Amino acid sequence: MANPLKCDLCSKPATVHLTQIVNNKVHKVDLCEECAQAKGVTDPSGFSLADLLLKASLNPEPAAASGLRCESCGFTQNDFKKHGRFGCPACYETFIGIVEPMLDGMHKGTVHTGKVPQRALTRKNLSDRLSKLELDLTAAIKSERYEDAARCRDEINQVKQSISHAPSR
Amino acid sequence: MTIASLIDTPSELTDSASSKTAIVLMTRIRLARNLASTPFPGWAKPAQRAEVFERCRDAVAATAPMKRNLAIGVQELSELEKQILVERHLISRELSGSRAGSGFVINRDQTFSVMINEEDHLRIQVLRAGFQLRKAWNAINDLDSALEEKLDYAFSPSLGYLTACPTNLGTAMRASAMMHLPALVISSQMEKVVRAVNQLGMVVRGLFGEGSDASGSIFQISNQTTLGESEEDILKRLGSVLNSIVEHELNARQKLLEADAGKLFDKIGRAYGILQNSHLLSSGEAMNLLSLVRLGIDLTLFPEESRSIVDRLFIETQPGHLQHAQKGEFEAGQRDLLRAGRLRAEFANFARPNFTLPAGGSN
């Protein structure tokens, strides 16, 4: 492409090209990623159209799978097809349906059995413990077991303290 | 430290030769790590890349093993400087071609290097001379744990360390050994070995990784899969594959000597003659000749003290190192002339081969 389309709003290179038919009139809009986001073109309900259009322009065959999109980084299924890499760690939650079938042929197993980063684990254990205690506290208050409630409250304070004392950068 | 002083500092790779490094020249382990809730380098915006670079650089540089280090962005280096680091296996070709916001931290003796914003936020690497899987793992495991104190890693209990490419999920560990296998090459058994190794879930590559040729009969063998097995298990499996390759290489050497020692000695003697007298040598040919002399050292045709010279020349006759030593940039043809000159000088005083094997030897 010698002359890439420019965003209608800010003249950066346009990556989102939206066509809408309103009252039998065709409206075409070319937007850059930022403007598209700002204008809400990329919100889940409005995005499917843009995503489909985007796909059609990059991939001649109609995409069978739904156009998944990572909420944290905006990475799409189509981007994965193009790059073979993901956009951010959260993509693995969004695209787990695509990743899981791939793992079998790719690796020896499908579940991690190696090293676990201790700090991440501690953080997770503490936050799990905290949510459980908060549930206990609510239950105790509800059933008027005030001694239990007091104990939960003390423990919650303790856990909160260890979270804030956990090694940080 | 500066890039110039790093390049001139003796390194683990160029200055650790001993009979212990006869077949396995070096062991390398690398771990891929990413920061939680942060886009991977390939998808991040320039400002995010810059922020990740600074955060990781500071965290890495503050760890004990990296006390004296060079921490720098790739765009601050010349092409030649980057090439030298690639030839020393300290940074990848991919990193050397990266856009702004990528860089690395390398410690003084060049046993650790951490690439930042390559394919993943962090590619931590440890490099040890010889066959040292266990030691290398202990060293990198400690550095990784120390880094985890300062950085929030992206981790999933079921998928392990989350990496940009799903082929690295799980342990995100690639362990590899650089092996010198001249007898397997001479007796045309390498293809068979590669196939067998592949079947065991390991990969064989040339000296400089994917797509590079195997000049100098030097190969890298590494694990292919990273998920579903612990680090210990991967290392154990790789270790036993490497041991069996070593055994095959030793057998092949024995057979070559038994079948026709004269033919093998002729190859080694000619290699010595060419290294002493030629005036044009490509890097591939030089590697192959040095490989034969190195085999001669293993067979005690040359004194053991010569090993460190040959191992150093393996690296120093690479294009980047050669141009650095000559303080200039040269065309391939000129480089061949310079390379041959360098080798002539080194081999002018190199001990002559002694083709009588010790009594009780294999002949």
Contact B302, B355 (CB under 8 A): no
First to last CA, chain A: 46
3-state secondary structure of B164: coil
Q: CB distance from A82 to chain B under 8 Å?
A: no
Chain B residues whose CB is inside 8 A of the A128 CB are none
Q: What is the pLDDT of residue B360?
A: 47
A165 touching chain B per CB within 8 A = no
Of A17-21, B80-84, B310-314, B353-357, least confident by mean pLDDT is A17-21
Mean pLDDT over A116-128 rounds to: 78
- Chain B residues touching A85 at Cβ < 8 A: 40, 42-43, 119, 164-165
Task: Provide, for chain B, the percentages of residues in helix, strand and coil under a 3-state DSSP scheme, each rounded to the nearest 5.
Answer: 50, 15, 35
Q: ∠ CA B280-B281-B287 to the nearest 5 degrees? A: 165
Instruction: Compute φ and ψ for B161, nearest 5 degrees.
Output: -70, 125
**Cβ-based burial of B333 (10 A; exposed 0-12, middle 13-18, buried ≥19):** exposed
Among the partner-chain residues A87, A116, A117, the one whose CB lies closest to the CB of B40 is: A87
Least Cα separation, residue B297 to chain A (angstroms):
40
Contacts of B34 in chain A (CB under 8 A): 89
β-bridge partners, B24: B179
Q: Which of B135, B103, B108 is nearest to B118 (CA)?
A: B103
Q: Among A23-37, B5-19, B24-38, whose mean pLDDT is lowest?
A: A23-37
Does the distance separating the beta carbons of B39 and A99 come in below 8 Å?
Answer: no
Alpha helix locations (H) across B222-360? 231-277, 283-298, 306-316, 319-325, 332-348
Q: Is A37 left (phi over 0), alpha (psi -120 to 50) or beta?
A: alpha
How many Cβ atoms from other residues are within 10 Å of residue A66's Cβ? 11
Whole-angstrom distance, CA of residue B51 vs CA of residue B73: 13
Q: Please give the Cα distance from A112 to B230 (Å, whole number).
A: 8
**Cβ atoms of residues B205 and B194 within 8 Å:** no
Most confidently modeled range among A25-29, B63-67, B359-363: B63-67
In chain B the first and final C-alpha atoms are separated, in Å, by: 52
pLDDT tens track for B191-245: 999 999 999 989 998 876 655 567 899 999 999 999 999 999 999 999 999 999 9
Average pLDDT of the residues of chain B = 92
Render pLDDT for B64-120 as a digit per residue (tens, 0 to 9).
999 899 999 999 999 999 999 999 999 999 999 998 899 999 999 899 999 999 999
Length of chain A: 169
Backbone Cα Rg of chain A: 24
Distance CA(B155)–CA(B120), nearest Å, equals 13
Question: Is pLDDT of B259 > 80?
Answer: yes
Contact B229 A109 (CB under 8 A): yes
In Å, how far is A119's CA from the nearest CA of chain B?
A: 7
Which two three-digit tokens encode residue A117?
């980063």
Residues of chain B with Cβ-Cβ distance to A108 below 8 Å are 201, 225, 227-229
**What is the amino acid identity at position B178?**
M
* Chain A stretch 29-68, residues whose beta carbon is closer than 8 A to a beta carbon of chain B: none
Report DSSP state, residue B252: H
The verdict on ipTM greater than 0.90 is: no
User: Taking the model in full, what pTM does it have?
Assistant: 0.78
Higher-pLDDT residue of A10 and B173 is B173
A28 touches chain B (CB under 8 A): no
CB atoms within 10 A of CB B44: 20
Residue B135 has a CB neighbour count (10 Å cut-off) of 14
Q: How confident is the model at residue A25 (pLDDT cuts 50, 70, 90)?
A: low
Which pLDDT does position A3 carry in this prediction?
56
Written as one string, the DSSP assignment of B175-240 is EEEEEE-HHHHHTT-HHHHHHHHHHTTEEEEBTTBTT---GGGEEEEEE---SSS-HHHHHHHHHH
Q: At what angle do helices B283-298 and B231-277 cross, to 10 degrees?
A: 100
Backbone phi and psi for residue B71, each to the nearest 5 degrees, phi listed first: -120, 120
With tokens 């990969």, the residue in question is B203
Residue whose structure tokens are 């066509």: A19
Please tell me which of the candidates A85, A88, A109 has its beta carbon nearest to residue B165: A85
Residue A62 DSSP symbol: P
Strands annotated E in A8-159: 16-22, 25-31
**Cβ distance B59 to B69 under 8 Å?**
no
Instruction: Report the distance separating Cα B49 and Cα B25, nearest Å.
Output: 35
Q: How far is B27 from chain A (nearest CA, A)?
A: 20
**Residue A45 pLDDT:** 41
